[in-house]
Chains A and B, each alone.
Chain A
Amino acid sequence: MSENMGLAPPKNPPIRLTLEIVNTGFKQRVNELSGQNMDACYQCGNCSSGCPLAQEMDILPNRVIRLVQLGQNDDIINSETIWICASCFQCTVRCPKGIDIQAVMDALRQIAMDEGIDHFGPDQIDPELAASVPQPGLVGVYRKLAT
């Protein structure tokens, strides 16, 4: 079925799963970069339950992993969640399947940045803050959120 380009896109189109989408390499790329196995996640949701930043996220961490499992890279790369994750490792130490979810978030940030999405640049920082925040805050934010 072809979509009529003149119409507004649907709000929540179905995912048309195919062998190709599932195996495009997005999931494999995340696996390689993070050193984790995305298929090991059985969606218990523990990572989301205990995430201190969950309230700031548009997609909860477990659902991010879910979208990786289904090869939905666009949804993730355009999400706020990967830039809100503070790499606090709370999810990592609690994952019942031993997945280092923080490493997955790092991998997703890198994929996004490789595609030219920089979340945070020097021009966005408040000068007063820049002058006072301890260096790990500055170095951390640039290394995590910018190329």
Chain B
Amino acid sequence: MKRIGVFVCHCGINIAETVDVKRVAEESMKMDGVAYAQDYIYMCSEPGQTLVREKIVEEKLDAIIIAACSPNLHESTFRAAAEEAGLNPWQCEIANIREQCSWVHSDREKATSKAIHIVATIVQKTRLNESLEPIPVSITKKALVIGGGIAGIQASLDIADSGYKVILVEKDSSIGGHMAQLSETFPTLDCSQCILTPKMVAAGKHPNIELMTYSEIEEVSGYVGNFKVKIRRKASFVDWSKCNGCGLCMEKCPAKVSSAFDRELATHGAIYVPFPQAVPNKPVIDKDSCIYFKTGKCRLCEKVCEIGAINFEQEDQFVEEEVGAIIVATGFETLPVADLAEYGAGDVPDLIDGLAFERLLSASGPTVGEVRRPSDGKVPKEIVFVQCAGSRDPERYKPYCSKICCMYTTKHALLYKHRVHDGQPYIFYIDIRTGGKGYEEFYHNAEEEENIIYLRGKVAKIFRDGDKTVVWGTDTLTGRNIEIAADLVVLATAVVPKDSTAELVKKLRIQTGPNGFLAEAHPKLRPVESINSGFFLAGAAQGPKDIPETVAQASGAACKVISLFSRDHLEQDPAVAWVDEDLCGSCRICISVCPYDAREYDEEKEIVIVNEALCEGCGSCVAACACGATQQRNLSDSQIKSMVTASLGGV
């Protein structure tokens, strides 16, 4: 019989406070197969791991059980320790007595009893565990980056610079993202364009980066190291290989379309580039606004294009690519002003959001950097900035803090004062959050030196009165309500994930959190990885963040990809499904239940086989298999039966 060692962790007081760990160890010693049991305060620490390794050798253990936290946290830690001491890693099991026991119970007696049962259950599994070898998987050393904002650009450049190929997919016609819309950036006030456009150009010219703008992800299949991606290259109706970017077509186009880039504060033609510094600097025709597409007449752009680059017959193209890793950097949007009913539901003309105000401040914006309000173009003498417009409002809008607004609102008020010296900015806030290098100092300077009035309270209502926009707020610091008849109101609307993110994550089969932001594998220790291997996260798609944080995360994600690509091959967990070829009746029910496309019919053998590289070991097919042909390694029927018996008390 196997000699099993049981190691019971106190986890400081996390387990020991609720579970009598000494008794768990004592009771474990009485279980069949257990040759050694011991408790220790922090099993994951170096002395704890040393204890485990020493006892494996001294006690001649064949298998070990660590009764501690969730296997998500430290299974790999202890399997590595077991391997160092000469055990096969799959002879190490975790009995979770923290998340599944001590943290959720308070009765010490009952919790201790449950912990003993959990250990007993894992002992049963361990007795029949086989030694396994990891499954080797090859890697395609080429990355896909989805999203061409600063996150995607930074990640692409880092990977490309290390010598690997990158495909950068962007759904708009130019890369640049929201950062291209910004005027100046906090806390240093350097111009956004000045620091972004060189990176855009570098990404456009890099020999290892293939830009696919005006393109979207259609389908993704495969697994870490070996993804297959289908990309839709949307019809731009302009042959970019011919277009020299002269711009004549855009000048002549008679259509008027609100500019999304300028946040509806300006218009462009139906054929347009979103902004002059676009990369690539090639126009597209917006089919929905194009007079020819709507009426069958016009084609003015075609007539003026001397090189014949306009092609109304162009159709969407599909390309297929193979990549080894995918970085998702799809960015953010802001909550539409129209969603905020008490703030005028989008019907107040002189009420705009922060990104629109960025365009008003921008030297390349619709007002060439002069602050002029939308309704009549007048320079506003009093501006009210409203923070937490939709953020920190769990009842009605978004529960979370959008994180960037405190800083950009202070920046807005400051830049406004720099443009309009006799103007008066007011900022309504709930808290001022300035966690970042130089941020608090930036805010202090604005408050002290720029005559910005900060008012502590959430604004209740905004409405138009004559040519004024009236704000009803409060100042909890004086205990008085505040009314301001402003010339312009700027809302710091909540940062939200892009609408398209929900659809994209379904195609990628990765997870999002409760607010639709991409979910990371671990909030602290694995913040740039998705739970699903091979997917990495960068930028505000994972949660609201500012430029420095976005760039840091993008470089972090790139580094993870580079580290993946630096290996010869990958190792897949071998605890996956396998098929007893003699028993399989080819009913193929397993194919229909497999969420990972890991089951496929083998024409030659006339059975359904397991693609081990794709199999995540979820067990769906094992449960579905009618003839018992499919089994899971180290979770055989007999193991499960004895585990059930043990968990119910019949050790």
- Any A–B CB pair closer than 8 Å: yes
Chain A interfacial positions (CB closer than 8 Å to B): 12, 14-19, 22-23, 37, 39-40, 42-43, 62-63, 66-67, 69-70, 72, 97
User: Which of chain B's residues have a CB closer than 8 A to the CB of A97?
Assistant: 444
List 19 A–B pairs whose Cβ atoms lie within 8 Å, in order of A's numbering: A12-B479, A12-B481, A14-B472, A14-B482, A15-B478, A15-B480, A17-B426, A17-B482, A17-B483, A17-B484, A18-B382, A22-B451, A23-B424, A40-B448, A42-B447, A66-B475, A67-B478, A69-B453, A70-B475
- Contact check: which of B424, B444, B475 meets A15 at CB < 8 Å? B475
Query: Is A40 a contact of B477 with CB atoms below 8 Å?
Result: no
Q: Measured between alpha carbons, how far is A19 from B447 in the docked complex, in Å? A: 16
Query: Is B478 a contact of A39 with CB atoms below 8 Å?
Result: no
User: Which of chain B's residues have a CB closer than 8 A to the CB of A72?
Assistant: 478, 480
Residue of B at shortest CB range from A38?
Answer: B448
Most chain B C-beta atoms within 10 Å of own C-beta, residue among A23, A39, A42: A39
Residue of A at shortest CB range from B443?
Answer: A42
User: Which of chain B's residues have a CB closer than 8 A to the CB of A62?
Assistant: 477
**Interface secondary structure of A, over-half rule:** mixed
Q: Which of B425-461 contact A (CB under 8 A)?
A: 426, 432, 444, 447-449, 451, 453-456
Query: Is B483 a contact of A14 with CB atoms below 8 Å?
Result: yes
Interface status of B381 (Cβ within 8 A of chain A) = yes
Residue of A at shortest CB range from B384?
Answer: A17
- Contact check: which of A14, A18, A39, A42 meets B480 at CB < 8 Å? A14
User: Which of chain A's residues have a CB closer than 8 A to the CB of B444?
Assistant: 40, 42, 97
User: Which of chain A's residues have a CB closer than 8 A to the CB of B447?
Assistant: 39-40, 42
Contacts A18-B382, A37-B448; A63 near B483 (Cβ below 8 A) = no
Question: By the criterion of a CB under 8 Å from any partner CB, how many residues of chain B are at the interface?
Answer: 27
User: Which of chain A's residues have a CB closer than 8 A to the CB of B455?
Assistant: 17
Q: Measured between alpha carbons, how far is A35 from B358 in the docked complex, in Å? A: 36
Residue of A at shortest CB range from B453?
Answer: A22
User: Which of chain B's residues have a CB closer than 8 A to the CB of A42?
Assistant: 432, 444, 447, 454
A-B contact count (CB 8 A): 66
Known interface pairs A17-B482, A40-B448; 16 further A-B residue pairs with C-beta atoms within 8 A, sorted by A's residue number: A14-B480, A15-B482, A16-B483, A16-B484, A18-B382, A19-B422, A19-B424, A37-B448, A39-B449, A40-B444, A43-B456, A63-B477, A66-B475, A69-B453, A70-B475, A72-B478
- Contact check: which of B423, B451, B482 meets A39 at CB < 8 Å? B451
Query: Is A22 a contact of B424 with CB atoms below 8 Å?
Result: yes
**Interface secondary structure of B, over-half rule:** strand
Query: Is A17 a contact of B448 with CB atoms below 8 Å?
Result: no
Residue of B at shortest CB range from A20?
Answer: B424
Residue of A at shortest CB range from B424?
Answer: A19
Q: Measured between alpha carbons, how far is A23 from B423 in the docked complex, in Å? A: 11
Minimum C-beta distance from B290 to chain A (A): 46
- Contact check: which of A23, A37, A63 meets B478 at CB < 8 Å? A63
Minimum C-beta distance from B378 to chain A (A): 15
Most chain B C-beta atoms within 10 Å of own C-beta, residue among A19, A22, A23: A19
Query: Is A39 a contact of B484 with CB atoms below 8 Å?
Result: no
User: Which of chain B's residues have a CB closer than 8 A to the CB of A37?
Assistant: 448
Residue of A at shortest CB range from B381?
Answer: A19
User: Which of chain A's residues have a CB closer than 8 A to the CB of B480?
Assistant: 12, 14-15, 72
Q: Measured between alpha carbons, how far is A18 from B487 in the docked complex, in Å? A: 11
**10 smallest beta-carbon distances between A and B, as pairs:** A14-B481, A19-B424, A66-B477, A40-B448, A14-B483, A16-B483, A17-B484, A15-B480, A39-B448, A66-B478
Q: Measured between alpha carbons, how far is A17 from B382 in the docked complex, in Å? A: 10
User: Which of chain A's residues have a CB closer than 8 A to the CB of B451?
Assistant: 22-23, 39
Q: Measured between alpha carbons, how far is A43 from B448 in the docked complex, in Å? A: 12
Minimum C-beta distance from A6 to chain B (A): 23
Minimum C-beta distance from A107 to chain B (A): 18
Q: Measured between alpha carbons, how far is A37 from B479 in the docked complex, in Å? A: 22
Q: Measured between alpha carbons, how far is A63 from B454 in the docked complex, in Å? A: 14
User: Which of chain B's residues have a CB closer than 8 A to the CB of A63?
Assistant: 477-479
Most chain A C-beta atoms within 10 Å of own C-beta, residue among B426, B432, B483: B483
Query: Is B478 a contact of A70 with CB atoms below 8 Å?
Result: yes
Q: Measured between alpha carbons, how far is A43 from B457 in the docked complex, in Å? A: 13
Minimum C-beta distance from B100 to chain A (A): 44
User: Which of chain A's residues have a CB closer than 8 A to the CB of B453?
Assistant: 17, 22, 69-70
Q: Which of B506-555 contact A (CB under 8 A)?
A: none
